[in-house]
Amino acid sequence: MFDTLSLASLPPADEAIRPAIRALAATAASAADTDERARSWQGYDPAFSRRLGEAGFLGLTLPKRYGGHERGPFARFVVVEELLGLGAPVAAHWIADRQSAPLILNFGNEAQRQSYLPRIARGEIFFCIGMSEPGSGSDLASVRTRADRTETGWRVNGQKIWTSGAPHCDYMIALLRTSGGPDDRHAGLSQLIIDLKVPGVTIRPIRDLAGDEHFAEVFFEDVDLPADALIGEEGEGWKQVTAELAFERSGPERIYSSVVLLDAWIAHLRGVGRDDAATRALVGDATARLGVLRAMSIACTARLAAGESPVTEASLVKDLGTAFEQQLPVLIGDDLASHPDEAVAADLYRALLYVTHVAPSFSLRGGTREILRGIIARGMGLR
């Protein structure tokens, strides 16, 4: 497997966009405290998303005829790295730009591409994804929410849960059962685009330990959709969603969830003048691991740029990357606690508290550790 994960570099043409996106991200992050910037994934700012669209930083990989910029995955890597590294708010456009647009481009019909993709590239419409269901966790093949054919299209009944950003989104791309039952597993699943403002849709936010309402449960009661809500082929939903998750698992976002906290801690160490050998070793270990993970993520991006779908390699990056993201708040918390005489800024404490609370979710979103390790084992021929 590692023969397919070779070291790669970001092309100079893609590195060249870094100053512009860094400057734009800095405008959004400059007025925020550290704990607010640590919420980059959950930061909802539709005006900032529209500014990204106006500046050409959304829809980077889409064809120009759909409002995109015909850049490759490397350009997107640079943009995401800068946004998360500075802690800019990305929640509004995140799913639409990262997953929904590539899915619609690859599996949608021409009318769907013309309708949705230009608006996504302009930062005008936002999507969420409906996969998890109560009692199913990450076992997506056990989906029970159904879409049944009617004379005019589809009727949806059921429930999704842990849906990121649903209260703020315009549309959901949902994985639904259009034939058979849960025992059929991968067969009979399809993806439909659901307008979240149509009658029969109820969205209830879920408050997490940090007091935020990023997740939601979404109920569907006799929700009527037009025939063209189906995206791709009926019954091919599992194949499509597997490809969609490859977009989600391989990017730099799987290593940078705690990076604002890491930067703030290093700034604290500089501020108090702590430079002993043990501290240098601790910082060196964290930054070296981050460097290795970044290199692996760039190697996955190179596979995507070559037109491949590195499902196994992306799962490996996500598993190792989220483990690193979860270990950072423990490492930093232990370090600060072992130096009780140092004055620590209040926003660093708040950022540490927030990241510590949400860190368990890092290995849940986008596929649990157990699911990923099953994929990795299969990719290595171990199962």
User: Residue 8's pLDDT is what?
Assistant: 92
pLDDT at 249: 64
> DSSP characters for 149-171?
E-SSEEEEEEEE-S-TTGGG-SE
User: Six-digit token pair at 54?
Assistant: 């106006």
The residue among 134, 113, 112, 109 whose CA lies nearest residue 68 is 113
When comparing pLDDT for 281 and 255, which is higher? Answer: 281
* Residue among 39, 30, 35 at smallest CA distance from 264: 35
pLDDT at 203 (0 to 100): 97
What the block records as the tokens of 103 is 């899915």
Kind and range of the H or E element at 224?
A: strand 215-226
Q: What is the DSSP annotation of 167-202?
A: GG-SEEEEEEE-SS-GGGTTTTEEEEEEETTSTTEE
Q: How far apart are CA 365 and CA 163, in angstroms?
A: 10
What does the pLDDT look like over 63-105, one tens digit per residue?
A: 999 999 999 999 999 999 999 999 999 999 999 999 899 999 9
Residue 202's pLDDT is 97
Closest CA to 216 of 138, 107, 291, 129: 129
> Are 190 and 232 contacting, i.e. CB atoms less than 8 angstroms apart?
yes
Residue 137 binned pLDDT confidence (cut-offs 50, 70, 90): low
Report pLDDT for 159. Answer: 96
The 10s digit of each residue's pLDDT in 353-379 is: 999 999 998 888 777 888 889 888 988
**Which range (114-118, 142-146, 227-231) has the least confidence?**
142-146
Amino acid 252: pLDDT: 79
CA angle at residue 246 from 240 to 250, to 5 degrees?
165
Following DSSP, what letter does each residue of 199-214 receive, concatenated?
TTEEEEEE--TTS---
Instruction: Indicate if 234 belongs to the active site.
Output: no
Percent with pLDDT over 90 in the chain: 71
The overall average pLDDT reported for the chain is 91
> How, if at all, do strands 201-206 and 230-231 pair?
unpaired
pLDDT tens by residue, 225-244: 999 999 999 998 888 887 66
Confidence at residue 250, expressed as pLDDT on a 0 to 100 scale: 61
Name the catalytic one among 81, 82, 217, 248. 248
Least confident of 14-23, 243-252, 321-330: 243-252
pLDDT for residue 296 is more than 60: yes
- Predicted model pTM: 0.89
List domains and CATH numbers for the chain: 12-125 (1.10.540.10), 129-235 (2.40.110.10), 254-380 (1.20.140.10)
DSSP 297-364: HHHHHHHHHTT---HHHHHHHHHHHHHHHHHHHHHHHHHHHT-TTS---HHHHHHHHHHHHHHHHHTT
Q: Highest mean pLDDT: which of 141-150, 300-309, 339-348?
A: 339-348
pLDDT score for 324: 96
Which neighbouring-strand residues pair with 83? Answer: none
